[in-house]
Structure 1
Amino acid sequence: MFRLLLLLFLTWMSSALVSIPLRRTRSIRTRLRADGLLNEFLKDHAPDMINRRYAQCIPSSTPSLRLGRTSERIYNFMDAQFYGEISLGTPEQNFSVIFDTGSADLWVPSTYCISEACALHRRFKAFKSASFRHDGRRFGIYYGSGHLLGTMAKDTLKIGGLTILNQEFGESVYEPSESFLTAKFDGVLGMSYQSLAEILGTNVFDNMIAQKLVDQPVFSFYLSRKSSRTKPAGELLLGGTNEALYIGPINWHPVTAKGYWQIKMDSVAVQGVNLFCPSGCQAIVDTGTSLIAGPTNDILRLQQLIGATPSNLGEFVIDCARLSSLPQVTFVLNGTEYTLTSEQYIRKETLGKNEFCFSGFQAVEIFSSTDPQWILGDVFLTEYYSIFDKGYDRVGLARARHPPEP
């Protein structure tokens, strides 16, 4: 009887709901703007310029970095804000990573990295890990505003008390873009479908499922509206949902293509009038993108409708005094309306003694042979608790439960 109880206890302990606190930091774009460096950075870091400048450094066997390919795995790398902690190796080496549903790879800087950016971040020391297994294959990931090269490896990964054995990951050895210099996080942990991976092997959450570490093949995100010194800025829950963080019901949306967490979007309405996607679009639910992105022509028209005007840096600015008069924007997904007010889709930033209001919409062209594609990033996900179900290949959305504004 004692052995049976012990076995049941160990089984319960090894298969559980695991919460990972998420922190919010000022985005790379915000930090560069505050330092007066954003204009110079944007001129020097257009995707095509990066690809050509570093083309001679890219191995011909790395298809993701060949000249002319400009797809991003994190579509708005410069605005990513939410990240959490993981550890790799035996004994543990700690890293902060973006938990990104828009990519599938795990990578952290290597101690052998030759880039200046690596010197400002925690670096993985393979020689100090007893469980490290060298792979030797090369990988490359291109982010548009920065890319990296590295080698593949395997080691023990720990997230929120869970131990994942023999996890494939990348050790970056070359991070030429200045965006990595400014980033507060060390690396990225991708949580999309495996088909997006540049690093061969099984991605992190699939490994958790295979090793029976979670109650259900489900993970969920809660992103808070404001940062706090005493409370986490959000939560990633592995194995299920946290009912205290959302207001039901949960609306489920089938995944339409197993790469990104991609779902069908019926239309986008402004003040109740359907103006975009009249024949339907695809929407990518992406925690690695801060803004809401869509096709260029649609987004430019949307910026006009909300009264946003372009700045000399290519961003769209709105008079903060006009927020109460701006229209609501509604995304219709599978017949369900998800509405954002101007207070929710406008980003406020303080520079010195002045407050500025920036549009939460951005133009991004995602090349697709099917419907036009939009990205529902953190501007949207802050208002809606998001659930990613690999068992049924679906995304659940429910109104996030935020504390009342003071």
Structure 2
Amino acid sequence: MLRLLLLLLSTWTGSAMVRVALMRVPSIRSQLRTQGLLEDFLKDHRPDMFNRRYAQCFPPGTPSLRLRRSSEKIYNFMDAQYYGEISVGTPPQNFSVIFDTGSADLWVPSSYCVSQACAFHRRFKAFESKTFHHDGRSFGIHYGSGHLLGVMGRDTVKIGDMTILNQQFGESVYEPGSAFVTAKFDGVLGLAYQSLAEILGNPVFDNMLAQKIVDQPVFSFYLSRRTRTSNPQGELLLGGIDEAMYNGSINWLPVSAKRYWQVEMDSVVVQGGVSFCPIGCHAIIDTGTSLIGGPTRDVLRLQQLIGATPTNNGEFVIDCTRLSSLPRITFILGGKEYTLTSEQYVRKEPFGISDLCFSGFQAFDIISPEGPMWILGDVFLTEYYSIFDRGLDRIGLAQARHPIE
């Protein structure tokens, strides 16, 4: 009886532990391609073009407006895919958000937003919330598609059965570009460290810890593979770990810098041969991007090794008939090998009556005190259950348990 009681307590998922179902949709990049808008979008959003064209529209001194400064908080924003539901205000107003470990801010569209994108999404009506507190300060976040501008406020936020009081968040009043028009989600909920935040105040998970509403200072992600029949398509568990979502043991990696969820990586090896970052480098575990990113020089070489050919849109295509002959790519973290096959690192997208195959790797040059950085996004995280431990500042990875396809 005592063992049964302990088992029930260890698996309890009441108010101190909440499951958030995550939905997976075609990436914004894929949707723009299907609509024939991708090429024009990329022409209009070259680096710094948005800054030079619209900088005068933003408050002087907005930090993220500085030319040539990369303060992008969601890498490869157009490929963000997994989102879930939250509510803001009293009575609650519902929004779909990307739960993003690569940023630290919570924002949703404002009812006062002047952008075309806001017309296609749910907008927060501050005047209808009894618990809203106006802040008055403005904020700006620099994405690859341009700058998002908004004002700060505080209100009650609900995630599942959990209620976070006086949560600082942003109301966006300007959302740039057609990327936000196409996006299926309304906003973003960042889960990175506070030092990464543009909006002043505690990020959501920090407030959950301060208000003692989670069972453990931990959250974990399960992301499904590329299949529409997966149930769930993804899941975020706030306050704990779900042992049913992974196989084997957890490999724990200490956080190397408390900004992103950043760890040291031993190396990247192609089929046991060519090696990148052979003396070690750093990697960001990022649920806010679907791709795996790395330094331009390394990734271009990697594209050659897997037979990927560049397109006019900056993507790399692969002959779908050659997948079985492509090499395995292994990421070594904490002395443990995490290997992806071509079926796992190649993205298949329907195009007419056939499929297009795209490389799951993309070049990102991130300047950091630790040197070159890699980004392990959803291409990696669909294969590995990820655990983010704020109590001990570490990340756990284990083989994800997927249903047989």
Same fold (TM over 0.5): yes
Residue of structure 2 equivalent to 1:324: 324
- Which residue does 1:123 correspond to in 2? 123
Cα shift at 1:379: 0.2
- 2:371 corresponds to which residue? 371
Aligned equivalents of 2:170 and 2:177: distance in 1?
18
Q: 1:13 to 1:200 in 2, by over 3 A?
A: same
**Identity level (%):** 73
Matched AA of 1:167 = Q
Q: 1:230 to 1:278 in 2, by over 3 A?
A: closer
Query: Do 1:267 and 1:332's aligned partners in 2 also have CA atoms closer than 8 Å?
Result: yes
User: Structure 2: any 5+ residue segments left out of the alignment?
Assistant: 1-8
Contact persistence 1:107–1:172 (CA under 8 A): yes
Q: How big is the shift at 1:176?
A: 2.2
Q: Match for residue 213 of structure 2? A: 213
Partner residue, 1:242: 242
Give deviations 1:85-105, integer Å, cap 9, x for gaps.
000000000000000000000
The aligned counterpart of 2:391 is 391
Alpha-carbon contact 2:388-2:395 (below 8 Å) kept: yes
Cα distance in 1 for residues equivalent to 2:249 and 2:14: 30
Structure 2 CA distance for aligned equivalents of residues 133 and 16 of structure 1: 26
TM-fit CA distance, 1:66: 2.4
CA distance in 2, matches of 1:227, 1:110: 34
1:218, 1:388 within 8 Å by CA — same for their partners in 2? Answer: yes
Residue matched to 1:34 = 34
1:176-233 Cα deviation digits (max 9, x unpaired):
2221111110000000000000000011001111111111000000000134368331
2:152 corresponds to? 152
- Residue aligning to 2:143: 143
Q: Distance in 1 between matches of 2:248 and 2:200?
A: 38
1:371 Cα offset (Å): 2.4
Distance 1:230 1:255 in 2: 31
Q: CA deviation at 1:141?
A: 0.4
Alignment RMSD: 1.4
Cα distance in 2 for partners of 1:309, 1:169 equals 42
Instruction: Give the 3 Å change call, closer, same or farther, for CA 54–356 of structure 1 in structure 2.
Output: same
Matched, 1:81 2:81: yes
What do residues 220-271 of structure 1 show as CA deviations (whole Å, max 9, x unaligned)?
Answer: 0000013436833100000011111101200000000000000000000000
Distance apart, 1:370 and its partner CA:
2.2
Query: What is the CA–CA distance in structure 1 between the aligned matches of 2:235 and 2:402, rounded to whole Å?
Result: 13
2:187 maps to which residue?
Answer: 187
Q: CA deviation at 1:144?
A: 1.5
| 1:95-132 CA distance string (max 9 Å, x none) | 00000000000000000001111011000000000000
Q: State the partner residue of 1:265.
A: 265
Aligned pairs, how many?
395
Q: Distance in 2 between matches of 1:169 and 1:253?
A: 30
Query: How does 1:3-402 map onto structure 2 within 5 Å?
Result: 15-228=15-228, 231-402=231-402
Distance between the aligned counterparts of 2:217 and 2:283, measured in 1? 22
* Contact 1:263–1:282 (CA under 8 A) maintained in structure 2: yes
AA of the residue aligned to 1:268: V
Alpha-carbon shift at residue 47 of structure 1 (Å)? 2.5
Q: Check conservation: 1:221, 1:234, Cα contact below 8 A.
A: yes
CA distance in 1, matches of 2:53, 2:287: 29
1:54 is paired with a residue whose SS is helix
Structure 2: how far apart are the matches of 1:55 and 1:37? 25
Cα deviation for residue 274 of structure 1 reads 4.8
Q: SS of 2:156's equivalent?
A: strand
1:14: Cα distance to partner?
7.1
Deviations 1:346-382 (A, max 9, x none): 0000111121100000001101132210000000000
- AA aligned to 1:337 is E
Separation in structure 2 between the aligned mates of residue 253 and residue 219 of structure 1, nearest angstrom: 15
Q: CA deviation at 1:336?
A: 0.7
* Residue 315 (structure 1) shift: 0.6
Contact residue 146 and residue 179 of structure 1 kept, 8 A: no
Tell whether the 8 Å contact from 2:224 to 2:230 is kept in structure 1 after alignment. no
Letter of the 2:88 counterpart: L
Q: Distance in 2 between matches of 1:204 and 1:227?
A: 31
AA matched with 1:37: L
Q: In 2, distance between residues paired with 1:72 and 1:176?
A: 14
Structure-2 separation of matches of 1:176 and 1:244: 41
What is the CA–CA distance in structure 1 between the aligned matches of 2:113 and 2:299, rounded to whole Å?
Answer: 39
Is the contact made by 1:48 and 1:70 (CA closer than 8 Å) also made in structure 2?
A: no
* CA–CA distance in structure 2, aligned partners of residues 262 and 381 of structure 1: 14
Are 1:55 and 1:67, in contact at CA under 8 Å, matched by a contact in 2? no
Q: Using the alignment, how far apart are the partners of 1:368 and 1:13 within structure 2?
A: 39
